Amino acid sequence: MGGTLLVQVALAAAGCGEHHRADELTDRAAGIAAGLRGYDDTYRTSCGPIAVELARVVVAAASVAPAEVRCRPLARTLIAEVARGHAAPAGVARLATLVGLTR
């Protein structure tokens, strides 16, 4: 399974409350991302260390304080900035939609 898909599945698991499984999946994605070089991303999937770390932050936030992710202005600002970025991970885009930052 590719790193990008692992990140997506991890974010979905976190959204369903499967936080332990989400952690396992992000660890697997991190292993894949660590082995990539800049030119290995032929299909521009953006599965690199930064995407994996962002997924870890979202997974951790969803497991510790899901309401904080939805309600805190700082969290909302961060999610909005990442979601507006070029090629934002689908999980971030989904999270932005869930907290009402996109339509």
pLDDT the model gives residue 26: 92
Q: What is the mean pLDDT of residues 5-30?
A: 88
pLDDT the model gives residue 33: 85
pLDDT the model gives residue 73: 74
pLDDT the model gives residue 39: 61
pLDDT the model gives residue 24: 94
Cα–Cα distance, 16 to 24 (Å, whole number):
15
The pTM score is 0.63
Cα 23-95-28 angle, rounded to 5 deg: 25
In one letter, which amino acid is 100? G
For residue range 31-86, list pLDDT tens digits in order. 888 887 666 666 665 677 878 888 888 888 777 777 776 677 777 777 777 777 66
Please report, for the chain, the start and end positions of each structural domain, with discontinuous segments joined by +: 3-98
Cα–Cα distance, 80 to 69 (Å, whole number):
11
Cα–Cα distance, 29 to 11 (Å, whole number):
12
22 exposure class (CB count in 10 Å sphere: 0-12, 13-18, 19+): buried
**Which run of H or E residues covers position 57?**
helix 49-64
pLDDT the model gives residue 49: 82
Q: Is the pLDDT of residue 25 over 90?
A: yes
